[in-house]
Structure 1
Amino acid sequence: MNWKKTIPKKIKNAIKLVSIRVNTYRDNKCQVNGIENYKRVLHIWDTAGVASLLSRELNKNGYESHVIMRTIHDPFGMTKYYQQESVDMGGKEYLYYCKRQAKDYGIIHIHGIHKIVPEYKKIFPNKKIILQFHGSDLIKPNNEKELVECSSHADAIICSTPDLEEHVLKHPELPKPYVCSNAIDTELFRPMPEIEKKLRKHFT
């Protein structure tokens, strides 16, 4: 099955739960005629380049999506590879910067940093907050009670794998999660028969 056809649809279904359609922009701002523009998406953090790849596909499907990642936590340069924003900042400076940028977006998609969810919901009550779990950020939290309390403020939760979904379902106070498996960039990882032929010849 071609993931390019299925993944964007899964993303749209997750966003559809918490969004409305807006067809026009005004001065490239977050609000259109006083209504939050839910076709502008800000991704905070970029676990293994997942946010950047999601962002690229969203942009192809009519959204305006942007990623902000700390350079020091992106050793392979995946965020820069996808031409998203990689910033050389400390933790507090990074979070403050993201908060300032968030005012121009209708959907805030937070990857793993559950602690900031309540603050964002308080500051931006009309924006929709999506929290996505990728693995150890959910399975091995430093404080599970805090994780659940903070995550409960999200409008929607996305899990990257079914086992993470099961973990979220153990807590009825949390929004029912969506499963959106990490995609493979087939523009980057694709069959290369000529190289394969050379390798086979070399190793056989």
Structure 2
Amino acid sequence: MKHRSPKKIIQRLMAASIAAVSTAAFAPFTANADCLGQNDFNDGIVLPWTAYSIRPAEQRFDTKDGSFNITIVNPGGYQRGGDSRWDLGIRHRNLHIEQGHKYKVHRELEASAEGELHTHIAGTDYNGVGVWQNNASNWDQGWDNVKIIQGKNSFDSEFTATKTIEVAEWSFQYGGAGSYQPMDCFPEGTVLKFDNLTLECETCGEEYKDAQSTPLPLGSHK
């Protein structure tokens, strides 16, 4: 039997450990399962979800109690020198949507005040390319906001992608009054707790896994 020195054994173990970590970090999203990099925030990690705001809109966020918690400091909107509902939001980028495949969407939200918000899955180049909005299976039918009650809200939707989007995002928008709503989505000080967000492809195969294996860096713009 060939004898290996302790130094050689340690080197091999270290190399194997690094390879295992690298494989886990860059493995493609699993087909026929959830497409997102984060769902329930139980570990206190938000990425690849991010919170964004457009001045003068302002928000704070944390992951206390295992949810993605947003506090609306300033909702923005045209009356405050902003634009509209997209002045505040959260989003998950670097998603791949495959034409002809069926997807299931689930989201939960606990709100400290009643209001409304918009959510969609679309391309990140903002040219209107999308496959799903709010609770509508047809993209063109989902422009209106969804009503949110004070307390716990839960929604389920399904859609079949009408096109392939190489770099897509799932976005929630809840800013101030503007083009698509006559009043602020929520009053100042409202706390929104997002949790159990899932986007599941029910019919994706090997070509989907190949497309997901080389995502763009987190937070990048196409």
| TM-score of the alignment, normalized to the shorter chain, above 0.5 | no
Normalized per residue, the structure richer in helix is 1
TM-score (norm 1): 0.29
- Which protein, 1 or 2, shows the higher relative CO under an 8 Å CA cutoff with sep ≥ 6? 2
TM-score (norm 2): 0.27
